[in-house]
Amino acid sequence: MSAAADRRALWRDLVERRLPDAARPGWPVRLDHCFARILLDNACGGPWRESVRPPAHVNMPEEGLEAAIALGEAVLAGAADLALLNRRSLAWRGKAVHSGAVPPVPADLRDGELHLRRWLPADVAPFAALNADPEVMAHLLGPRTGPESAAEARALDGRFAADGFGPWAVEQGGRFRGFVGALRVMRALPFPGGGRPGEAVELAWRLARDAWGRGLATRAARLALADIAGRCGIRTVVAYTATGNHRSRAVMERLGMVPSGTFAHPAVPEEPTRTHVLYRLDLAGAAA
Ligand SMILES: CC(C)(COP(=O)(O)OP(=O)(O)OC[C@H]1O[C@@H](n2cnc3c(N)ncnc32)[C@H](O)[C@@H]1OP(=O)(O)O)[C@@H](O)C(=O)NCCC(=O)NCCS
């Protein structure tokens, strides 16, 4: 059997046998197709059939299948909250509200001419353009294709439905400039507090090259932070980037984030971008 066929067989065994056999009284589901729905939706960042042709065990791209397997293994190991993953999946399918008692997502956040809002279909083209720029993507595994960017835009906006917060589309002077906001970290990462998928919340940003050097990322991050601290009650956020990404590190430092060590990012195969610096920010006082 090829390595890919092995992984597909492992996936089927995971959702058809190991997870149903391990089902505990507190788990929200017990049936194989429910486990598959939850893991595939979370790996795709939305209802999986919107991006993958059934059957998923044949057509799911390798990276997505690995993400789904990792989440399933984390559930089995007691390291991921199946109820949280299920609420996210149901929220994307319009069957439940997002997790917890978080007040509704505001229509937008504003600071003068700086406008943070939900994503629009018209953002996909300028987002694809910035994702195709090697300078913007220098620390992010390189440029993305148009279809990859369209899928990423959909998944980024889907965060708001799943979690009640997410990466805002940033607009200035009526132009889409990129995104800034908070995301639940949905994979286990090797830093203290990063081992349980879905628990840590990270700040992330990506702007078009001609929007750099104007303070937009820092201002937008402050708006997003005030929202998640006040409305969502989030107490701690992290941010991380490749060690050599000095512009991103400078944003973390302007925000008052505290350097908290380094880790090897499991999704990055080699240096110079594998080693990441970690920063933390305590928001406990920010909600007042
Ligand atoms: C990371 C990134 C968002 C930082 O953007 P940025 O514009 O450098 O960051 P800020 O918004 O904090 O702006 C700070 C700059 O604006 C300048 N500035 C101008 N007007 C300003 C104002 N009113 N307020 C604050 N800063 C201002 C600052 O002097 C500083 O410029 P300098 O770095 O040349 O000294 C951007 O480089 C990017 O999108 N990179 C590619 C994607 C990426 O790597 N993302 C991170 C992955 S983890």
Q: Show the domains of the chain with their CATH numbers.
A: 3-92 (no CATH), 108-282 (3.40.630.30)
Read off the pLDDT of residues 79-101 as tens digits, 9 standing for 90 and up: 999 999 999 999 999 987 555 56
Residue 32: which pLDDT band, with cuts at 50, 70 and 90? confident
**C-beta 200 within 6 A of ligand 1:** no
Which sign, positive or negative, has the C-alpha torsion 221, 224, 228, 229?
positive
pLDDT of residue 97: 56
Instruction: Report residue 87 as tokens.
Output: 């609420």
pLDDT of residue 288: 41
pLDDT of residue 26: 87
Nearest CA to ligand 1 atom 41: 136
Residue 263 has pLDDT above 60, yes or no: yes
Question: What percentage of the chain carries pLDDT values higher than 70?
Answer: 97
What separation in Å is there between the alpha carbon of 216 and the centre of ligand 1? 7
What separation in Å is there between the alpha carbon of 107 and the centre of ligand 1? 25
**C-beta 247 within 6 A of ligand 1:** yes
**C-beta 205 within 6 A of ligand 1:** yes
Ligand 1 pocket, mutate which of 176, 247, 251, 265 (most atoms under 8 A from CB)? 247
pLDDT of residue 88: 95
Residue 140 has pLDDT above 90, yes or no: yes
Instruction: Report residue 193 as tokens.
Output: 């507090």
What separation in Å is there between the alpha carbon of 60 and the centre of ligand 1? 37
| Closest ligand 1 atom, residue 207 Cα | 39
Residue tagged 């083209």 (tokens): 125
Contact by Cβ (8 Å): 29, 87: no
Question: Which residues does residue 203 pair with via DSSP β-bridges, in sequence order?
Answer: 182
What separation in Å is there between the alpha carbon of 251 and the centre of ligand 1? 6
CA 209 vs CA 92, 127, 146, 178: distances in Å: 32, 12, 18, 10
What separation in Å is there between the alpha carbon of 41 and the centre of ligand 1? 33
Residue 281 has pLDDT above 60, yes or no: yes
pLDDT of residue 220: 98
CA 72, CA 186: separation in Å to the nearest integer? 12
Residue of 247 and 102 predicted with greater confidence = 247
**C-beta 222 within 6 A of ligand 1:** no
Residue 167: which pLDDT band, with cuts at 50, 70 and 90? very high
Residue 287 has pLDDT above 50, yes or no: no
Q: What is the mean pLDDT of the chain?
A: 94
pLDDT of residue 144: 96
pLDDT of residue 102: 74
**Which of 67-71, 102-106, 137-141, 173-177 bottoms out in mean pLDDT, i.e. has the lowest?**
102-106
Question: Which residues does residue 131 pair with via DSSP β-bridges, in sequence order?
Answer: none
Nearest CA to ligand 1 atom 7: 212
First-to-last C-alpha distance (Å) of the chain: 58
**C-beta 207 within 6 A of ligand 1:** yes
Residue 286 has pLDDT above 60, yes or no: no
Name the DSSP class of 266.
T
pTM assigned to the model:
0.92
Q: Is 117 helix (H, G, I), strand (E, B) or coil?
A: strand
CA 98, CA 259: separation in Å to the nearest integer? 31
What separation in Å is there between the alpha carbon of 137 and the centre of ligand 1? 15
